[in-house]
Structure 1
Amino acid sequence: MSWKRWIATALLLGVVSRFVPFGASDGYDRDSGTPVWVFDHGYHAGLILPRSALEEYGSHHADVWMTQFPDADWFEFGWGDRGFYFEVPTFEDVTFAIGAKALLWPSETVVHVATGTGSPWTRFIHSQGVEIPVTDAALSELLAFVEASVVSTGRLGPGLYGVSAFYEGRGQYHLFQTCNSWVSQALRAAGIKSAPAPAVLSSGLMWDLMRRY
């Protein structure tokens, strides 16, 4: 494995430590739940919520996002290191200095909001994903977690792909608090079981979710 791929993997995902035992998830509703999605884009994972969740359970931040993205059917949320997100739009842009800085020193964060219409499966055809039907209570908790991760809905600039934008994030990024840790924490906050770690490999996160749901 090249140093570049090692740094990107360690930087964004950390090391798998253990997995939550199987059992019922309070927020999971296989028969009649509303679907949410997690997609792995190779060096960051995103959590997708339908527009209906923002309409039904959102507060101020959600209202602003719906105004800023009036045509969106769904919203993908990702959280991570500000410098890495801004400086590394693709894997080929990873440098040792960028990776080491975000990995070794706690840093400022951003929330990336990407939007789309139609099915997320069509938009992210080249990304691995999992669909999880959840209860209304879980939808509310997921959105509350996302909104609490944002300091301000003033856009910092355009996002990485599609109709998207960056926003000032809350909290610091480091080896034990990565983008995939954030996704896992959001799910667990809503009673949806997920690999807990503070540090979770992308492949570990997706494997765990796919075998559960």
Structure 2
Amino acid sequence: MKQNKPLLFLFTLVILTGCLNPVRNLYPDDPDLRTVPVYIVSHGWHAGIAIESEYVLNQIPEHPEIPDTKFLKFGWGDARYYSDTEAGFWIMMRAALLPTKSAIHVVGFDVPVEMYFSGSKVVEIKITEEGAVELGKFIDQTIKKNKDGDPVFYADGLYRNSVFLESEKIYILPRTSNKWTAKALRKTGYPISPFYAFTSGNVIKQASEDGVVIQ
């Protein structure tokens, strides 16, 4: 049994750190090959991911509530807590302790990301168009569809041009909104480990290692 401990340790180390390396065919070393800006936005508890809509709309099913804007920002979380600006302690605890329905928040805007979210932390990362396609596919897989393949409306969004769509995924700790954002960024090939991304601060920290802190 003792002889297997080094192998078990090595296997665990690979699992925990395997996502730290970039996926080279999506995120090449040469920055000139990475031309698409993507943004990690932290509002405190939640971190989301924003990108110019032209890069992901082909992967996301159409819905009349999805804003027709230059930028789209996506965030995921417990449906009831995330969509209710007056949600109290017990709704927060319900989201933390019980498996619950989740929703994806889609926000549209036409001004620069740092201007629209002027009070938030923003990190800019350059990815490839192929990485952007993979990001769009990941977002699409998160959105729940009806029998006709259309996204399912959940609630009005938190901003003027925004909407909550139902999600396919169940919200349960430790599967947090910040882990979802880290996984979304990982799909672009970026060297981030979702395993550690429990908090928005950690997502921002990992994103900053090869990105540019705008504010």
TM-score interval, smaller chain: 0.7 to 0.9
Distance in 2 (CA, whole Å) between partners of 1:148 and 1:118 is 27
Corresponding residue number in structure 1 for 2:91: 98
Secondary structure of 1:186's aligned partner: helix
Q: 2:43 aligns with which of 41, 44, 62?
A: 41
Paired residue type of 1:145: F
Distance in 2 (CA, whole Å) between partners of 1:118 and 1:177 is 31
What root-mean-square deviation, in Å, do the aligned CA atoms of Structure 1 and Structure 2 show?
2.2
**Which structure is higher in strand share?**
2
Relative to the length of structure 1, the TM-score reads: 0.79
Aligned residues: 187
Corresponding residue number in structure 2 for 1:202: 200
Structure 2, unaligned runs of 5 or more: 1-15, 146-150
- 1:162-191 deviation line (CA, Å, top 9, x unaligned): 310011101111111111110111122231
Higher relative contact order (Cα pairs below 8 Å, separated by 6+ residues): 1
Structure 1, unaligned runs of 5 or more: 1-17
Given the alignment of the two structures, is residue 127 of structure 1 paired with residue 125 of structure 2, yes or no? no
Q: 2:75 aligns with which of 78, 87, 90?
A: 78
Q: CA deviation at 1:120?
A: 0.9
Who wins on radius of gyration, i.e. which is larger? 2
Distance in 2 (CA, whole Å) between partners of 1:176 and 1:162 is 31
Q: CA deviation at 1:136?
A: 1.3
Q: 1:140 aligns with which of 133, 136, 139?
A: 133
Given the alignment of the two structures, is residue 108 of structure 1 paired with residue 101 of structure 2, yes or no? yes
Paired residue type of 2:72: F
Corresponding residue number in structure 2 for 1:160: 158
Identity percentage of aligned residues: 26
Distance in 2 (CA, whole Å) between partners of 1:78 and 1:21 is 21
Contact 1:19–1:194, Cα closer than 8 Å, also in 2: no
Relative to the length of structure 2, the TM-score reads: 0.78
